Amino acid sequence: MSLIVQKYGGTSVADLERIHNVAKRVAKTYDQNNDVVVILSAMAGVTDNLIDMANTIAESPDKRELDVLLATGEQTTAALLAMTLKKMNYPALSMLGHQAGVITDRSYGNARIIEIGAEYILKLIQKRNIVVVAGFQGSDVGGNITTLGRGGSDTSAVAIASALKADICEIYTDVDGIYTADPNICEKARKIDRISYDEMLNMASLGAKVLQIRSVGFAKKYNVPVHVRSSFSEEEGTMVVSEDAGMESLVVSAVTHDKNQARITLTKVQDRPGVAAKIFAPLAEAGIVVDMIIQNIRPEGQTDLTFTIPKAQFKTAMEIERKVAEEIEAQDVLGDKNIAMVSVVGVGMKNHSGVASMMFNTLARENINIMMISTSEIRISCVIEEKYTELAVRVLHTAFGLDKED
Amino acid sequence: MSLIVQKYGGTSVADLERIHNVAKRVAKTYDQNNDVVVILSAMAGVTDNLIDMANTIAESPDKRELDVLLATGEQTTAALLAMTLKKMNYPALSMLGHQAGVITDRSYGNARIIEIGAEYILKLIQKRNIVVVAGFQGSDVGGNITTLGRGGSDTSAVAIASALKADICEIYTDVDGIYTADPNICEKARKIDRISYDEMLNMASLGAKVLQIRSVGFAKKYNVPVHVRSSFSEEEGTMVVSEDAGMESLVVSAVTHDKNQARITLTKVQDRPGVAAKIFAPLAEAGIVVDMIIQNIRPEGQTDLTFTIPKAQFKTAMEIERKVAEEIEAQDVLGDKNIAMVSVVGVGMKNHSGVASMMFNTLARENINIMMISTSEIRISCVIEEKYTELAVRVLHTAFGLDKED
């Protein structure tokens, strides 16, 4: 007998028919003599509709109240699934975040889990109940409802799996696993059977949207085996596990791309102490996350400073930096929205040289200009012109031997 | 400074514009230096939609899960109103039933309030916060979400007003008060300025749907002054108060009617001990509430037994009684859905004779046949043919001097 945590995303519970399919899958797992805890997202689109409603009331709706509002989405699906399971004569019951003991800090809209009081769930599953938990939500120590941010149900699932010492955390989604590249643009992309937490962390932060990045960090920290798979098929998906669990021995595991970035350059910045703080502090205050930063030193003691930010915040960031440039007497502010970041990721990179030059050569051969480069231990990212994204992904996928056999 | 509890029904919070109007009314009350606690229903129609959804899953959906589902309706409006007030720069915050300390028994779908832990709300309003409570919901001592049944937000409001020792409980609805008869069928109906708890209790149970009957019982028990008024106007509505608070000295205060009843008669029932139990126990088991019962003794030691039940359960009740009739060897089971109950209500009746005969004479004068009669200390009810309902209400309204002056 295993203890299995299953998380179903918004498209998997989008209507009553799909909820019924989820119930059948849960029941089947239970009938195979497993204990089952289910974590649910809201129905696809519901959270966005609630946010739209709140935004009609105020541009920046009160964060505490927004969380109370958004929490209804997962409450609804949890009740509906438990109801469906009961109708099928399974001993199920729903639980909200606070009932499941998900204690968070008070950062409404983006709360961090402090603690999971697992006793109550454990007691219920020991009596062979199926526990259905509303994902995405928790409460602070004062009992105020909090939510964990976009994709937070993944984090709920991994955290609860960890607290329950579950044998596995299955993440059911509308794709059937993690791919070596986005199959929509690279038809030779292969499904990956096993991938390490670190690779997954890099992929998540580089635009592969299958898992919320925080959930992967959590899984890594507490060594929770995660199985990403489709709720619409019976096929095995991708196991996300710790590195020593027998990885494929490829140098590069995947090619990712991210078109949601934009680039800003400040030219001829005086290279004085404190100048970087002046450039980046106002962005942080505006809640704009800067990703890549590079600095080219000019001979005359000035530098050009270039960084990337989310495309959606390009306009705000440009306005902020124009003021900054005036203040610090930079020459100019240049912006470019037509960029993309392509990356290669793989734990094998640590023991192989030549990955970077292979990447640069491969792009050069196609006359794709590299605007920015950034590297970590297990990835190399290049910023290129957006129009070359698909081409770059495909040629890198081939160059690093990832193409599936025909 | 007064402490005012305001309850707004589903039509008053049916959309964001109406919620904004509610916020303005709350803010105005607050600005007049009052402490304000608001209790909200779900948006009109939302609870029905959720019930429909649950009924798609199962004919009798699991009651615990149905309550979890239904509770989202009031959670939504509470968050939206608090958000609106915050946007208007008022210090508001929402609270769910369990957060507000509404402790109930575990009768899912029809829970009774055991206790209200008012300390937390009191602490917040002492700091001049506006507290917005999700009505209709509470939790049992185990933390399971419960709901209080149809119209339960009225009961939430009165119970919370009582626990907070509020100066008044204002019930905002889509009508502007309690009327001497339904204005839709009796154009001479007048709005009543003051009415006693007992009269209101009788009227509520006799088909006047403005207040949930349990809320009136609660108000009477704890002597909570209730003001029923319209959320769409500034006019005073009807005060529901204890009897000694200077009532109008009319013998009859109102004429009510109820078309949602049906009548069943068992003929030639052997008048043996235990026969009544055999007739009514199976109805109770099926959750069918019997209202009026009359028994006509026949000379030969048999009786005809007639009773009324809700029209919606007529078919089920007939099936049950056909089986019963066979078992107890009654002659026949007769059913009639085309009936209505008209009643006159008034505390003044206690000190006046002749009300019953005035009622019977008035109906007789219009050739309206009385099928059943039932009386209590402050009311007289007659079952008549349904088609005469409106006529009966109007002639009784006139006969008892309730007509407004032209």
Which residues does chain A have within 8 Å of residue B130's beta carbon, measured at their own beta carbons? none
Answer yes or no: do A87 and B16 touch at CB < 8 A. Answer: no
Is pLDDT above 90 for A209? no
Report the mean per-residue pLDDT for chain B.
91
Mean pLDDT for B353-362 is 88
Rounded Cα–Cα distance for residues A231 and A33 (Å): 20
User: Which band of pLDDT confidence, cut at 50, 70 and 90, is reported for residue A244?
Assistant: low
HEC-encoded secondary structure of B120-153: HHHHHHHCCCEEEEECCEEECCCCCEEECCCCHH
Mean pLDDT for A134-159 is 95
Which of B53, B66, B93 is nearest residue A64 as measured by Cβ atoms?
B93
% of chain A at pLDDT higher than 90? 70
HEC-encoded secondary structure of chain A: CCEEEEEECHHHHCCHHHHHHHHHHHHHHHHCCCEEEEEECCCCCHHHHHHHHHHHHCCCCCHHHHHHHHHHHHHHHHHHHHHHHHHCCCCEEEECCCCCCEEECCCCCCCCEEEECCHHHHHHHHCCCEEEEECCEEECCCCCEEECCCCHHHHHHHHHHHHCCCCEEEEEECCCCCECCCCCCCCCCCECCEEEHHHHHHHHHCCCCCCCHHHHHHHHHHCCCEEEEECCCCCCCEEEECCCCCCCCCCCCEEEEECCEEEEEEEEEECCCCHHHHHHHHHHHCCCCCCCEEEEECCCCEEEEEEEEEHHHHHHHHHHHHHHHHHHCCCEEEEECCEEEEEEECHHHHHCCCHHHHHHHHHHHCCCCCCEEEEECCEEEEEEEHHHHHHHHHHHHHHCCCCCCC
Q: What is the pLDDT of residue B248?
A: 54
pLDDT in tens, A34-74: 999 999 999 999 999 999 999 999 999 999 999 999 999 99
Q: Which one of B69, B136, B146 would you mutate to disrupt binding with A, by most A Cβ within 10 Å of its Cβ?
A: B69
> What does R_g of chain B's alpha carbons equal in angstroms?
23
At the topology level of CATH, where does B3-174 sit? Carbamate kinase (3.40.1160)
Asked if B141 is an interface residue toward chain A (Cβ–Cβ < 8 A), one would say no
H or E element at residue B91: none
Asked if A109 is an interface residue toward chain B (Cβ–Cβ < 8 A), one would say no
Q: Which of A334-348, A360-374, B67-81, B349-363 has the lowest mean pLDDT?
A: B349-363
Tokens of B165: 């020792």
Is pLDDT above 70 for B208? no
Tokens of B66: 């149905």
CB proximity list for A32: less than 8 A, separation 6 or greater: none
pLDDT in tens, A161-190: 999 999 999 999 888 899 999 888 999 999
Answer yes or no: do A69 and B75 touch at CB < 8 A. Answer: yes
From chain B residues 23-62, the ones with a CB under 8 A of any chain A CB are 50, 53-54, 56-58, 61-62
Q: Which of A350-354, B79-83, B123-127, B352-356 has the lowest mean pLDDT?
A: A350-354
Q: What is the pLDDT of residue B247?
A: 55
Asked if B384 is an interface residue toward chain A (Cβ–Cβ < 8 A), one would say no
Mean pLDDT for B7-16 is 95
CB proximity list for A49: less than 8 A, separation 6 or greater: none
Contact A193, A136 (CB under 8 A): no
Q: Which of A200-209, A343-352, B372-381 has the lowest mean pLDDT?
A: A200-209
% of chain A at pLDDT higher than 70? 97
Mean pLDDT for A2-24 is 96
Answer yes or no: do B65 and A72 touch at CB < 8 A. Answer: no
User: Which band of pLDDT confidence, cut at 50, 70 and 90, is reported for residue A207?
Assistant: low
Answer yes or no: do A68 and B75 touch at CB < 8 A. Answer: yes
Is the backbone of residue A270 left (phi > 0), alpha (psi -120 to 50) or beta? beta
Which residues does chain B have within 8 Å of residue A62's beta carbon, measured at their own beta carbons? 82-83, 86-87
Q: What is the pLDDT of residue A405?
A: 79
Residue of B nearest to A93 (CA): B65
Report the mean per-residue pLDDT for chain A.
91
Contact B331, B249 (CB under 8 A): no
Residue extents of the structural domains in chain B:
3-174
Which residues does chain A have within 8 Å of residue B16's beta carbon, measured at their own beta carbons? 53, 56-57
pLDDT in tens, B142-159: 999 999 998 899 999 999
Answer yes or no: do A86 and B65 touch at CB < 8 A. Answer: yes
Answer yes or no: do B75 and A80 touch at CB < 8 A. Answer: no
Answer yes or no: do A93 and B66 touch at CB < 8 A. Answer: no
CB pairs under 8 A between A and B: 105
At the topology level of CATH, where does A244-406 sit? VC0802-like (3.30.2130)
Is pLDDT above 70 for B18? yes
Contact B31, B92 (CB under 8 A): no
User: Which band of pLDDT confidence, cut at 50, 70 and 90, is reported for residue B49?
Assistant: very high
Contact A29, A36 (CB under 8 A): yes
Is pLDDT above 60 for A245? no
Q: What is the pLDDT of residue B405?
A: 79
Q: What is the pLDDT of residue B374?
A: 84
pLDDT in tens, B298-307: 777 788 889 9
pLDDT in tens, B255-307: 999 999 999 999 988 877 788 888 998 998 888 888 888 877 777 778 888 99
Could you tell me the pTM of the whole model? 0.85
Residue of A nearest to B68 (CA): A79
Asked if A301 is an interface residue toward chain B (Cβ–Cβ < 8 A), one would say no
Q: What is the pLDDT of residue A356?
A: 87
Asked if B93 is an interface residue toward chain A (Cβ–Cβ < 8 A), one would say yes
Which residues does chain A have within 8 Å of residue B145's beta carbon, measured at their own beta carbons? 96
Tokens of A66: 């927004």
Is pLDDT above 90 for B385? yes
Provide the shortest C-alpha distance from residue B109 to chain A (in Å).
14
Answer yes or no: do A80 and B53 touch at CB < 8 A. Answer: yes
Mean pLDDT for B220-244 is 91
Provide the shortest C-alpha distance from residue B303 to chain A (in Å).
44
Q: What is the pLDDT of residue B206?
A: 64
Asked if B312 is an interface residue toward chain A (Cβ–Cβ < 8 A), one would say no
Contact B93, A65 (CB under 8 A): yes
From chain B residues 59-78, the ones with a CB under 8 A of any chain A CB are 61-62, 64-66, 68-69, 71-72, 75-76, 78
Which residues does chain A have within 8 Å of residue B20's beta carbon, measured at their own beta carbons? 57
User: Which band of pLDDT confidence, cut at 50, 70 and 90, is reported for residue B207?
Assistant: low
